[in-house]
Structure 1
Amino acid sequence: MSSLKKSFACPLIIVSLMLLLAGCIPTIQRMWDAQPVTGTVVDGNTGEPISGATIRSITLAEDPEQTPRTAISNAKGEFTLPGESHIGFHMAMPASYMASTHWKISHPDYPDAVAETRTIAPPTGEQPRNITVPLFAEINASKVQDCPYFHYQQQLAQWLHHLDEEARYPFQDSMLTFCHDSERIEQIFAAQERGNH
């Protein structure tokens, strides 16, 4: 082997060994850029489906170039956001974590609502999510600093006591994700406790 080939081969072998030792394996595989989401928008007081609600992903500050995903609920209150994936060269890593997508739900007859879907990352497989989003007409629509959806989340906390534990799960983290004020967080949980009694 020529000295030139050796000079290229050695670093490649070293890098490959380092990646393998770190648990990173170069692979060609399908990765999900966006997971499929389906759901239903309902009136939180009557349980009736709400048509014409706009479901839009909230672009996070750390990923400003992400294209928002949008859907409109139909006559049954249902909406569908298809998944998006691609096949390419990736570093397969064994470690995983929960990735969140945040959603804003708007309708002209209701104050805005928020929801969250969580999936396992890295997104090597399809993980469909289904959510139910209640809208409440009779809540304060004013914004609260450091807790922009405080009034909605407080109402949601009370609404949750009607659901079983499994049905509550998709909403639990949403109550905190959008709130960074410890006093407000306590008020949200207090509202949920009142709903449970």
Structure 2
Amino acid sequence: MNNQFFPNDEEELNFVMRIYEGEINTRNDWIKENARLLNEAKSASIVINHAMAIINHAMLVLRLIDIEAVGARLKDKEKAIERATILNNRNQGIPKPPKTLRNIRNDYEHFEARLDKWATSSNPSMYIDLIVGGEEFIFDNIPKDTFRKLEGSNLTFWNTKIDLQEVINWVEEVCKIINESNNRARF
């Protein structure tokens, strides 16, 4: 081992990495709980809230295992790459995240900037927000932006679609690999 940031002693490294792997499992539990609550919610606002919580938890999992460290701050990028590399080496076969998760991450994290851009444009479009279910009741020929909409398992966030079921399945598969690869009873 020749780690720059993380322990080079195998026992110490195992201890540290188990914390990260445990966090991934915790986020998976929270994702499943939010999916259950989303299905039981009675209002569009609460449904969207649980959908966004699923994205939030999945994004943390992505950040922990993302070898490219796409979302890392410049000063933390090398550390994030090392951590992700170690986690991927410890847990062979971790699947790539859904492409749409990467696409939606930036819009989600910078919602206020997207809203400012929309509001200060020379001709803001109609907007669609907090829609759950079928089509919105606005004429098709009017330009419109979709802030947050859930139809089936497809969440549209700032005109970008993501399949929540695909995200849930991906995190579940990551956890399955972590648990099987390490055969640890700690989870």
Larger radius of gyration: 1
**Greater share of helix:** 2
**Greater share of strand:** 1
Is this a same-fold pair by TM over 0.5? no
Q: TM-score range by the shorter chain?
A: under 0.3
